[in-house]
Amino acid sequence: MKKGCLNRLLWLVLLFPAITMASDGSESLVHRMSTLVFQLSVILFAARFGGILFKKMKFPSVLGELIAGIILGPSLLGSIPIPFLFENGLFPQVEGALIPVEPELYAISTIGSIVLLFLAGLETDLKLLVQFSIAGVMVGFGGVIFSFLIGALTTAWWLHIPFSDPRVLLMGVISTATSVGITIRVLSERKKVGSPEGITILAGAVVDDILGIIFLSVVLGIATLSRKAGQQSNQNQLFEVGMLIFRAVGVWLGFTAIGLLLSQKIGSFLKYFKNIGTISALALGLALLLSGIFEKAGLAMIIGAYVMGMTLSGTDLAKVIENALHPVQEFFVPVFFVVMGMLVNIKEVISPTVLTFGFIFTIGAVIAKVIGCGIPALGLKFNFLGALRIGAGMVPRGEVALIVAGIGLSSGFLDQQLFGSAILMTLLTTIVAPPILNVILTDKKGSLKELEKGELVETDFDMTSPYLVELLSERIVQSFVSEGYYVNTIEDEVKIYHFRRERSTITLFVEQKKLRFENDTTDTIFVKNIVYENLVRLNDMINQVKDLVKPAELKQELIEGEISTDFDVKKVLSTDCISLDLQSNTKNEVIKEMIDILFKNGKISDPEAALEAVMERENSFSTGMQNGIALPHGKSDSVERLVVSVGIHRKGIDFQSIDGKSSQIFICAVAPKKISGPHIRFIAHVGALLNTREKVDELLRCSTKEEVYSFFTET
């Protein structure tokens, strides 16, 4: 139900721009819609492949999406004609327009920016801002002010224009944005998230976002006003600028204050609809509504989206909405980044002038954050090394910088050269920050002794199964939430949860067969208690399940019924993986022999891992069925798709079957961990196929591998 509601919202939003941007008669609405569908399809695949490629190179996936857009854009591949389909290319240059892509596509990317800022608002930790208000305000304020001034002054110097010029002001705002997600990943790898520097960076980022939004509100208003300035006196101009700043800040503060005051009532209103999908869809609807209101008030739409997200961040719905909107985010946000890349005119960017200014602008952006955030940190009992870490951690720019640059280009305030320089700065700061942090994040303390809470230690809990890790970690996160902790989730190769409450900071790394906590020594007992309490609850649940479930009876029911016809065995079984004369004498040996058959035929890459996975499942309860068949199976990273081997043991061996008889027919299946199915459908299929003694005898009479193959594929 949840996915259905979100899917309907998704399609409504997709159709809206296509309908409203109807053709002027030169081409039909249907043609424009079909073009949009093709464009979105290519964008989604390009974004995914670009993101995966850059992630493998240890770079943020957003860079891959951005560069994919540059390559696909009108200035490169987009304008190449495709015979019989797109005479001017799939992404042709839109002549005479402020932006080089079709308005329908830009409309969808705009919705992506709203979704992105709404989710960013949901993740805003206002409690953290209050708890670390002094550190956060000083570091965030210093970083924003220095970045704005250096970015604006660099632009004014390069272009030889006044500081009050809209281009100068917008480039200053672009320079202020910070993307700490990249920094947090580096801190997590070096086990420094809970360090004084890590906490200060997180607190400073909250202030950075809020101040950046305020600056954007004011600058956009001033930029708009500048278009009318030619017909007014200086006195009138100053008066209107003052009124504009008052209105921009007033609207922002007013809606923010109202939102925070009414946040619980808004949450209660959303809960009235009960269904999670409906709640999440309506929450996004409120973000869209407030975005429209802010746009009408002369402010950017993304500011309204951020305010609505921040409004709901303090409610118990924040995490629910964030999780439910994940599919929407996975669609719209990559589209936004790819379209931002498409707006780049690569011919302009690679010109010596733009490259020179882009590098100068980038150097200024790096220096601004290091100095602007580092100097206040020195006054917060951090030493030089600690201040340098904080400054470097605030260096990466990201999504907000791209959004502001896109607004500047689409509004006509920025040209392609300045837009390209802003994109270049975003790319370079994102790339250079992680290696700098890796060098300076040593074991040396970055703060004075009195600032340290205690020693950070690791608390590990080894588990026997990745399924137990997944189940237990979800319950542990809920326990932290119920204890009043704020949770920040980082999706990477290893899932990371960062918990914060008052002065307590705890990081959880969810590994394949282990839960690893990084915490202060004073929190170790608390962490152990949370884990043990949840283990006890799981144990109680398992005992209750055991009382309800009788495995022997269940196994009997599993093989009773009609044969499924919707599974094509030909896709998973080959004659090479069939043995007519197994030689093993024990249960463990026969499973190993079945795994070896798969390995020798190139079906699995790591036989030991596959054997461990199958034995782990077997040890929980035997897969020996009745009538002499056994279905050992498991899930392992040693395979990329479901693989199967079939073996016949003429004498039979004890496999702990439900009827107590020896097993003669063995069907071993190994499936990949990260893909659900289709191994269960396969097991159900062959279980039903061999549910009578007559069928088992028919299989045992087969004298060649081809006959066995035909039995499974043609019955």
Express each pLDDT in 685-700 by its tens digit.
Answer: 887 788 788 888 888 9
Mean pLDDT, residues 425-453: 74
| Alpha-helical regions (H) of 301-351 | 301-313, 318-324, 326-342, 346-349
Whether the per-residue pLDDT at 25 is higher than 50: the answer is no
Whether the per-residue pLDDT at 119 is higher than 90: the answer is no
Q: Which one of 50-64, 369-383, 530-544 scores highest in mean pLDDT? A: 369-383
Residue 152: pLDDT band (50, 70, 90) is very high
Mean pLDDT, residues 126-141: 72
Give yes or no for a contact between 120 and 179, defined as CB atoms under 8 angstroms apart: no
Instruction: Provide the mean pLDDT of the chain.
Output: 80
Mean pLDDT, residues 331-360: 89
Q: Which two tokens stand for residue 687?
A: 């279980």
Residue 465: pLDDT band (50, 70, 90) is confident
Whether the per-residue pLDDT at 579 is higher than 60: the answer is yes
% of the chain beyond a pLDDT of 90: 17
Express each pLDDT in 483-525 by its tens digit.
Answer: 777 676 766 556 778 787 766 778 888 887 889 888 878 788 8
H or E element at residue 257: helix 234-261
Residue 592: pLDDT band (50, 70, 90) is very high
pLDDT at position 185: 65
Give yes or no for a contact between 397 and 419, defined as CB atoms under 8 angstroms apart: no
Nearest by Cα to 167 from 145, 178, 151: 151
Mean pLDDT, residues 639-659: 87
pLDDT at position 18: 46
Calpha distance 204→183 (Å, rounded): 13
| Secondary structure class of 303 (helix, strand, coil) | helix
Residue 133: pLDDT band (50, 70, 90) is low
Using CB atoms within 10 A of its CB, is residue 336 exposed (0-12), middle (13-18) or buried (19+)? buried
Express each pLDDT in 283-311 by its tens digit.
Answer: 999 999 999 988 887 777 888 888 898 88
H or E element at residue 478: helix 466-482
User: Which domains does the chain show, CATH number per domain?
Assistant: 2-10+30-89+101-440 (1.20.1530.20), 453-548 (3.30.160.110), 555-714 (3.40.930.10)
690: amino acid identity, one letter: L
pLDDT at position 546: 62
Break the chain down into helix, strand, coil percent, rounded to 5. Answer: 65, 10, 25
Nearest by Cα to 687 from 642, 660, 657: 657
Residue matched to tokens 């240890």: 58
Express each pLDDT in 58-90 by its tens digit.
Answer: 777 888 888 999 999 898 898 888 888 888 888
Pick 461 or 21 by higher pLDDT: 461
Lowest mean pLDDT of 211-215, 384-388, 575-579, name the range.
211-215
Residue 26: pLDDT band (50, 70, 90) is very low
pLDDT at position 9: 53
Whether the per-residue pLDDT at 232 is higher than 50: the answer is no
Global pTM value: 0.66
Whether the per-residue pLDDT at 20 is higher than 60: the answer is no
Express each pLDDT in 473-485 by its tens digit.
Answer: 888 988 887 777 7
661: amino acid identity, one letter: K
Pick 359 or 435 by higher pLDDT: 359
Express each pLDDT in 544-559 by its tens digit.
Answer: 766 655 555 544 444 4
